[in-house]
Amino acid sequence: MWVSTATKKPFFLSVIIWLIISMLSYILHPLQPFQSIAHRGASFYAPENTMAAFQKAVDLGFDFIEFDVRLSKDGHLVVIHDADVQRTTDGMGYIRDLTVQEIKMLDAGSWYSSEFTNERIPLLEEVLKQFGGKIGLLIEMKSSENQPQLTKLLSDTLVKYIDNGVKPSTLKVQSFNINEIKKFHELTPTISSGILLEKPLNILHFQTYSQFASFLSVNHHLLSKSIIHQAKQYGFDIFSWTIKKQYQFQMMQRLGVNGVISDEEYQETNGTLLTLIFQ
């Protein structure tokens, strides 16, 4: 069917006007405050998941540090991201096959800089003792599906520190494994638990997740105002991760996320410097 040029012009003009209005509405939307979360500690300034990186995060004024825990061969909670030690130490082997004594012999700093030679892989107990109460701790459970005792041990360890005065509000636990997060919540309902998501969100799952999770840590590519609005209707806080560009900070602020995890320095328009670290 033939459509005249005169008919097309008003349509295209309407589309252009709509796009301009949408862009202005987005740009003029107020920037929302958020919690700054240093992933693996201040890993832009120090080797990831080390006491040096965690201390730097405290010095820089972060709200939380995020770090990972795995289970050693002899049943200790070890702070490390990878399943093996090769990338971030001078050793080789899987954490599950190494004892704490063997793990503590490894140099976890020289790969980053000679300034951090002989930096060691910390244990969760060491991190809690030094930083518990000084800064919020966001703990990710790794491989809990293969080592189910990890969840119970983590719960017992955190409860002990709460009994010694650490406020539950300064602790959060997350995992990609939904069943283990559900188990952790059942064991430790006083500590906020959350689900890590890197696949498109299924709104139908919100109601189920809300029974045992209070926050969602989501790949920022999956986030929209609609998704965040619906998630917050179910009581979830939203943390976004892999933020690496200046403009992405403002995108996340305008979307209304509760926490931002990133590896970039960000200068807010009011002049407040937020240094957020993420690998």
- Minimum mean pLDDT range among 61-75, 226-240, 258-272: 258-272
CA 145 vs. chain centroid, Å, equals 19
Q: What pLDDT sits at residue 12?
A: 60
The yes-or-no answer on residue 81 being catalytic is yes
174-220: per-residue pLDDT in tens?
Answer: 999 999 999 999 999 999 999 999 988 777 889 999 999 999 999 98
Q: What pLDDT sits at residue 132?
A: 93
Share of the chain above pLDDT 90, in %: 61
Crossing angle between the packed helical segments 149-163 and 178-187, to the nearest 10 degrees: 40
DSSP string, 220-261: GGG--HHHHHHHHHTT-EEEEEEE-SHHHHHHHHHHT-SEEE
Q: What pLDDT sits at residue 29?
A: 55
Share of the chain above pLDDT 70, in %: 82
Active-site option among 39, 76, 185, 220: 39
Active-site option among 76, 81, 185, 220: 81
Strands 136-141, 77-79: pairing kind: unpaired
User: Average pLDDT over the chain, rounded to whole?
Assistant: 85
122-156: per-residue pLDDT in tens?
Answer: 999 999 999 999 999 999 999 766 788 999 999 99
Element (H, E) at 197: strand 192-197
Query: What Å distances lie between residue 136 and 32, 74, 167, 212, 229, CA to CA?
Result: 20, 28, 10, 20, 25
The yes-or-no answer on residue 39 being catalytic is yes
Cβ distance 58 to 134 under 8 Å? yes
Q: Is the pLDDT of residue 234 over 80?
A: yes
Q: What pLDDT sits at residue 159?
A: 97
Mean pLDDT of 77-81: 98
C-alpha 65/C-alpha 188 separation (Å) is 20
